[in-house]
Copies of this chain bind each other. A is one copy, B any other.
Amino acid sequence: MASRTIENYLKQLWLLEHAVRKPTSGAGRSTGNFVTMGQLSESMGVTPGTTTTMVKAMADAGLARYTPRAGVRLTRAGEKLALHVLRRHRLVELFLVEILAIDWAHAHEEAEELEHVISDTVLLAIDRLLGHPSADPHGDPIPSEAGMPEIQNASNLAEMKGGTEAVIVRIMDQSREFLTFARQNGLVPRAAITIAHINPGAGAMLVHPRGHSPVSVSLAVAAKFMISTKSTEESKTAHRPVAKRRAHRKPSPDA
Using a CB–CB distance below 8 Å, which chain A residues touch chain B? 96, 99-103, 106, 110, 113-114, 116-117, 119, 121-122, 125-126, 129
Contact A126 B114 (CB under 8 A): no
> Could you give 22 example pairs across A and B, Cβ below 8 Å?
A96-B122, A99-B99, A99-B129, A100-B122, A100-B125, A100-B126, A100-B129, A101-B125, A102-B121, A102-B122, A102-B125, A103-B121, A106-B121, A110-B119, A110-B121, A110-B122, A113-B117, A113-B119, A114-B114, A114-B117, A116-B117, A117-B117
Q: In angstroms, how far is the closest chain B Cβ from the Cβ of A246?
A: 12
A105 to chain B, nearest CB (A): 11
Q: How far is A90 from B119 in the complex, measured between Cα atoms in Å?
A: 18
Kindly state the separation between the CA atoms of A99 and B126 in the bound complex, as whole angstroms: 9
Roughly how many angstroms separate A252 CA and B65 CA in the complex, as a whole number?
A: 42
Whole-angstrom CA separation of A19 from B103 in the bound complex: 39
- Pick the most buried of A99, A100, A116, A126: most chain B CB atoms within 10 A of its CB: A100
Residue of B nearest to A106 (CB): B121
Cβ of A115 to closest chain B Cβ, rounded Å: 10
Q: How far is the CB of A48 from chain B (nearest CB, A)?
A: 27
A189 vs B122: C-alpha distance in the bound complex, in angstroms?
24
* Chain B positions within 8 Å of A126 at CB level: 100
The residues of B that contact A110 with a CB separation of less than 8 Å are: 119, 121-122
Chain B residues, Cβ within 8 Å of A106: 121
The CA of A103 and the CA of B122, in the complex, are separated in Å by 10
In the assembly, what is the distance between CA of A100 and CA of B102, in Å? 17
Which B residues lie within 8 Å of A116 (CB)?
A: 117
How far is it, in angstroms, between the C-alpha of A96 and the C-alpha of B126 when the chains are bound? Answer: 10
Q: Which residue of chain B lies nearest to A101 when distances are taken between CB atoms in the complex?
A: B125
- Other 16 A-B pairs with CB < 8 A, given A102-B122, A117-B117: A96-B122, A99-B129, A100-B122, A100-B125, A100-B126, A100-B129, A101-B125, A102-B121, A102-B125, A106-B121, A110-B119, A110-B121, A110-B122, A113-B117, A114-B117, A116-B117
Taking each of A101, A116, A125, A126, which has the highest tally of chain B beta carbons within 10 Å of its own beta carbon?
A: A125
**Complex Cα gap A102–B128 (Å):** 12
In the assembled complex, the Cα of A253 lies from the Cα of B94 at a distance in Å of 32
Nearest residue in B to A96 (C-beta to C-beta)?
Answer: B122
Complex Cα gap A101–B122 (Å): 9
